[in-house]
Chains A and B, each alone.
Chain A
Amino acid sequence: MEINVLYYLLPSLVMFCCGVYGFLTRKNMIAMLISLELMLNAVDINFTVINRYIYPESTEGMFFTLFAIAIAAAETALAIAIIINLYRANKTVDVRDANKLKG
């Protein structure tokens, strides 16, 4: 068995679809954020694999993944700060109850 690009793109496709499913069905905000992380990671894997297999002489995909990881970390930290603040105000992390933006 020769491992080519498709073999790596299929798990990441499954990962992305799981992320879409979780993001649409979960109501807990933290669970939605976890699904978002799944989608981001699937895209990161795609960037790296395509860089390695199709353009092995350049490093664009690898650097894009590096910056994507940094930005995803910043985004998650801020999102969790906001969720905990919402929890303080509403006593719940359900998206359906987060419908008033009063401070």
Chain B
Amino acid sequence: MEILYTIVALAIIICSILTVTTRKILRSATYLLFTLFGAAIIYFMMDYEFLGAVQIAVYAGGIVVLFVFAILLTSQPGKNSEKLESRRKGWGILAALAVACISGWALVSRCCSLMGAKPEMEFLTMKKLGLEMISSNGYLLPFEAVSVLLLACIIGGVAVARKR
């Protein structure tokens, strides 16, 4: 478990840094794919198998493919993006460090209440998950709301992309 954790954590950190620092945008999308796989492995390590499968299917199978299509449609692959101005870069690093400091301080100041090994959890079977999602005292309303949202998204996508 420790070895797997170390590999995944290093992969997530390195790939997410490379995602925002590489200058070829197609490479950036590829590093994003590896970061998303790392997140999926974390979900598997947390024993949420369904969530990990959804993450791989929706993100790696759907969103990254969309990104690659959009990149190939809008820019010449292999072309470097222009160099960042140092002022803009400085502001970006400043904002990122500020976020890191504030959240890191919040984490460290409460770390004693967060310590402790992973507690036991009864395995979340597919049946239990589905019942919880459909039952009226569970997540029926958000479930239906998401279905309406997806319908609106389909119609919106067609309306935006159609030829006039």
Contacts and interface: CB of A to CB of B under 8 A. Distances in A.
A28 B14 CA distance: 22
B32 A34 contact: yes
Interface residues of A, number: 67
Contact of A38 (B32, B51, B118, B121): B32
B110 to A, nearest CB: 10
Interface residues of A, dominant DSSP: helix
A21 B97 CA distance: 9
Contact of B139 (A4, A31, A63, A72): A63
B126 interface: no
Nearest to B159: A81
A34 B2 contact: no
Interface residues of B, dominant DSSP: helix
Nearest to A22: B20
Contacts of B96: 17-18, 20-21, 24
A83 B111 CA distance: 42
A37 B28 CA distance: 12
A73 B133 CA distance: 19
Contact of B25 (A9, A31, A37, A74): A31
A10 interface: yes
**In the complex, which of the residues B20, B63, B81 has the most CB atoms of chain A within 10 Å of its own CB atom?**
B20
A70 to B, nearest CB: 5
A81 B157 contact: yes
Interface residues of B, number: 77
Contacts of B1: 3
A57 to B, nearest CB: 8
B149 interface: yes
A70 B59 CA distance: 10
Interface string A16-48: 111111101111101101110110010011001
Interface string B26-48: 00110010011011001100111
B42 to A, nearest CB: 6
B39 A41 contact: yes
Contacts of A35: 19-20
B161 A85 contact: yes
A48 B51 contact: yes
Contacts of A13: 100, 103-104, 107
A21 B42 contact: no
A9 B105 CA distance: 12
Q: Which 4 A-B pairs have the closest CB atoms?
A: A22-B20, A25-B92, A21-B96, A74-B153
